[in-house]
Protein backbone atom coordinates (compact mmCIF):
# COMPACT_ATOMS: atom_id res chain seq x y z
CA UNK A 1 0.00 0.00 0.00
CA UNK A 2 1.42 3.38 -1.03
CA UNK A 3 0.15 6.84 -0.16
CA UNK A 4 -1.97 8.60 -2.72
CA UNK A 5 0.21 11.17 -4.58
CA UNK A 6 -1.95 13.86 -2.95
CA UNK A 7 -2.12 12.18 0.47
CA UNK A 8 -3.55 14.58 3.06
CA UNK A 9 -3.95 12.17 5.98
CA UNK A 10 -1.82 14.41 8.23
CA UNK A 11 -0.62 18.01 8.40
CA UNK A 12 2.80 17.13 6.96
CA UNK A 13 1.18 17.35 3.52
CA UNK A 14 1.16 21.15 3.87
CA UNK A 15 4.91 21.75 3.57
CA UNK A 16 6.14 18.88 1.45
CA UNK A 17 7.60 19.09 -2.05
CA UNK A 18 7.53 15.32 -2.64
CA UNK A 19 6.22 12.26 -0.84
CA UNK A 20 9.38 10.27 -0.09
CA UNK A 21 8.81 6.61 -0.86
CA UNK A 22 11.15 3.68 -0.02
CA UNK A 23 14.41 3.29 -1.95
CA UNK A 24 16.55 0.21 -2.64
CA UNK A 25 15.52 -3.36 -3.36
CA UNK A 26 11.72 -3.66 -3.07
CA UNK A 27 12.13 -7.42 -2.57
CA UNK A 28 14.74 -7.15 0.19
CA UNK A 29 13.75 -8.69 3.52
CA UNK A 30 16.02 -6.27 5.38
CA UNK A 31 14.52 -2.84 5.86
CA UNK A 32 16.06 0.28 7.41
CA UNK A 33 13.58 2.74 8.92
CA UNK A 34 14.63 6.32 9.62
CA UNK A 35 12.69 9.12 11.23
CA UNK A 36 11.51 11.43 8.44
CA UNK A 37 12.67 13.02 5.19
CA UNK A 38 14.91 16.10 5.50
CA UNK A 39 15.30 18.99 3.08
CA UNK A 40 17.35 17.13 0.43
CA UNK A 41 15.09 14.08 0.63
CA UNK A 42 12.01 16.27 0.24
CA UNK A 43 13.48 17.94 -2.85
CA UNK A 44 14.69 14.70 -4.48
CA UNK A 45 11.83 12.45 -3.34
CA UNK A 46 14.28 9.79 -2.05
CA UNK A 47 15.11 8.76 1.53
CA UNK A 48 18.59 9.21 3.04
CA UNK A 49 20.23 11.18 0.21
CA UNK A 50 21.41 14.18 2.30
CA UNK A 51 24.25 14.34 4.83
CA UNK A 52 22.88 11.48 6.98
CA UNK A 53 22.30 9.42 3.85
CA UNK A 54 25.91 9.83 2.77
CA UNK A 55 27.07 8.55 6.18
CA UNK A 56 24.62 5.64 6.02
CA UNK A 57 25.65 4.71 2.47
CA UNK A 58 29.38 4.87 3.33
CA UNK A 59 28.94 2.72 6.44
CA UNK A 60 26.99 0.09 4.49
CA UNK A 61 29.79 -0.03 1.94
CA UNK A 62 32.42 -0.34 4.70
CA UNK A 63 30.52 -3.40 5.95
CA UNK A 64 30.47 -4.93 2.45
CA UNK A 65 26.98 -4.28 1.14
CA UNK A 66 25.18 -1.47 -0.62
CA UNK A 67 21.91 0.41 -0.22
CA UNK A 68 20.68 -1.46 -3.30
CA UNK A 69 20.77 -4.69 -1.24
CA UNK A 70 18.23 -3.44 1.33
CA UNK A 71 15.12 -1.28 1.45
CA UNK A 72 15.33 2.17 3.09
CA UNK A 73 12.28 4.08 4.32
CA UNK A 74 11.04 6.44 7.05
CA UNK A 75 8.30 6.46 9.68
CA UNK A 76 6.63 9.35 7.84
CA UNK A 77 6.82 10.00 4.10
CA UNK A 78 6.62 13.80 4.19
CA UNK A 79 9.13 16.27 5.65
CA UNK A 80 8.26 17.81 9.02
CA UNK A 81 8.69 21.61 8.94
CA UNK A 82 12.16 22.75 10.03
CA UNK A 83 13.23 19.10 10.38
CA UNK A 84 11.45 18.78 13.71
CA UNK A 85 10.66 15.27 15.01
CA UNK A 86 7.42 13.82 13.62
CA UNK A 87 4.64 13.74 16.22
CA UNK A 88 3.02 10.52 17.39
CA UNK A 89 -0.16 11.56 15.52
CA UNK A 90 1.77 12.04 12.26
CA UNK A 91 3.54 8.70 12.67
CA UNK A 92 0.19 7.03 13.43
CA UNK A 93 -1.36 8.56 10.28
CA UNK A 94 1.47 7.21 8.11
CA UNK A 95 1.73 3.84 9.89
CA UNK A 96 -0.51 1.99 7.42
CA UNK A 97 2.06 2.67 4.67
CA UNK A 98 5.02 1.77 6.88
CA UNK A 99 3.37 -1.48 8.01
CA UNK A 100 2.74 -2.55 4.43
CA UNK A 101 6.44 -1.96 3.68
CA UNK A 102 7.56 -3.99 6.71
CA UNK A 103 5.13 -6.89 6.83
CA UNK A 104 7.36 -9.36 4.95
CA UNK A 105 10.69 -8.27 6.45
CA UNK A 106 13.08 -10.74 8.10
CA UNK A 107 14.85 -7.88 9.92
CA UNK A 108 13.86 -4.26 10.51
CA UNK A 109 16.60 -1.83 11.55
CA UNK A 110 15.30 1.25 13.39
CA UNK A 111 17.60 4.24 12.85
CA UNK A 112 17.33 6.62 15.78
CA UNK A 113 14.99 7.43 18.60
CA UNK A 114 11.84 8.35 16.65
CA UNK A 115 11.92 5.19 14.53
CA UNK A 116 12.48 3.04 17.63
CA UNK A 117 9.73 4.85 19.54
CA UNK A 118 7.32 4.47 16.65
CA UNK A 119 7.98 0.75 16.20
CA UNK A 120 8.49 -0.44 19.79
CA UNK A 121 7.00 2.27 22.00
CA UNK A 122 10.37 2.54 23.81
CA UNK A 123 11.13 6.05 25.03
CA UNK A 124 14.29 5.53 27.10
CA UNK A 125 17.97 5.90 26.35
CA UNK A 126 19.15 4.53 22.99
CA UNK A 127 22.35 3.33 24.66
CA UNK A 128 20.38 0.65 26.49
CA UNK A 129 18.87 -0.94 23.40
CA UNK A 130 21.24 -0.36 20.46
CA UNK A 131 22.14 -3.60 18.64
CA UNK A 132 19.95 -5.71 20.96
CA UNK A 133 17.45 -7.64 18.90
CA UNK A 134 13.82 -7.66 19.89
CA UNK A 135 10.51 -8.44 18.18
CA UNK A 136 7.89 -6.04 16.85
CA UNK A 137 4.35 -6.80 15.73
CA UNK A 138 3.47 -5.70 12.21
CA UNK A 139 0.01 -6.55 10.89
CA UNK A 140 -0.19 -9.43 13.39
CA UNK A 141 3.25 -10.87 12.50
CA UNK A 142 6.30 -11.02 14.78
CA UNK A 143 9.29 -9.47 13.03
CA UNK A 144 12.88 -9.23 14.36
CA UNK A 145 13.86 -5.63 15.12
CA UNK A 146 17.32 -4.15 15.61
CA UNK A 147 17.56 -0.70 17.24
CA UNK A 148 20.42 1.45 15.91
CA UNK A 149 21.79 4.97 16.19
CA UNK A 150 20.71 7.48 13.57
CA UNK A 151 23.65 8.26 11.22
CA UNK A 152 23.41 11.99 12.06
CA UNK A 153 24.08 11.24 15.74
CA UNK A 154 27.41 9.58 14.86
CA UNK A 155 29.01 12.71 13.37
CA UNK A 156 30.48 13.95 16.67
CA UNK A 157 30.33 10.75 18.72
CA UNK A 158 32.90 8.04 18.09
CA UNK A 159 31.16 5.46 20.32
CA UNK A 160 27.88 5.89 18.40
CA UNK A 161 29.80 5.49 15.14
CA UNK A 162 31.36 2.25 16.37
CA UNK A 163 27.93 0.99 17.43
CA UNK A 164 26.42 1.87 14.03
CA UNK A 165 29.35 0.09 12.34
CA UNK A 166 28.44 -2.98 14.45
CA UNK A 167 24.82 -2.65 13.26
CA UNK A 168 26.08 -2.73 9.67
CA UNK A 169 28.18 -5.84 10.38
CA UNK A 170 25.08 -7.57 11.79
CA UNK A 171 23.12 -6.67 8.64
CA UNK A 172 26.00 -7.85 6.41
CA UNK A 173 25.85 -11.25 8.15
CA UNK A 174 22.07 -11.40 7.61
CA UNK A 175 22.54 -10.71 3.91
CA UNK A 176 24.90 -13.69 3.45
S1 LIG B 1 3.29 11.88 6.21
FE2 LIG B 1 2.22 10.06 5.43
S3 LIG B 1 0.10 10.24 6.19
FE4 LIG B 1 1.08 12.28 6.36
S5 LIG B 1 0.51 13.32 4.44
FE6 LIG B 1 2.54 12.36 4.12
S7 LIG B 1 2.09 10.35 3.20
FE8 LIG B 1 0.15 11.12 4.08
**Total Cβ atoms within 10 A of residue 69:** 15
Q: What are the tens digits of pLDDT across the range 92-141?
A: 999 999 999 999 999 999 999 999 999 999 999 999 999 999 999 999 99
| pTM attached to this predicted model | 0.96
Please choose from 1, 77, 84 the residue to mutate so as to test ligand 1's pocket, defined by most ligand atoms within 8 A of CB. Answer: 77
Closest C-alpha among 95, 75, 94 to residue 85:
75
Closest C-alpha among 173, 168, 163 to residue 128:
163
Q: Which residues line ligand 1 (CB under 6 A)?
A: 3, 7-10, 12-13, 19, 76-78, 90, 93-94
CA of 41 to the centre of ligand 1 (A): 15
Cα 112–29–133 angle (5° rounding)? Answer: 45
Domain edges within the chain: 11-175
CA of 14 to the centre of ligand 1 (A): 10
Q: What are the tens digits of pLDDT across the range 85-94?
A: 999 999 999 9
What span, in angstroms and rounded, lies between the C-alpha atoms of 167 and 63?
Answer: 9
SS (H, E, C) 79-105: CCHHHCCCCHHHHHHHHHHHHHHHCCC
161 falls in which pLDDT band (50, 70, 90)? very high
Q: Per CATH, which fold does 11-175 belong to?
A: Uracil-DNA Glycosylase, subunit E (3.40.470)
Amino acid sequence: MRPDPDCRLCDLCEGRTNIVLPDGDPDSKIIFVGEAPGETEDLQGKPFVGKSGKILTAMMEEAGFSRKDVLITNTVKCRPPGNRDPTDEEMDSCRRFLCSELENASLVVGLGKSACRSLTGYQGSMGRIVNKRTLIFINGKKIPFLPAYHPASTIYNRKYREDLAETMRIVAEELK
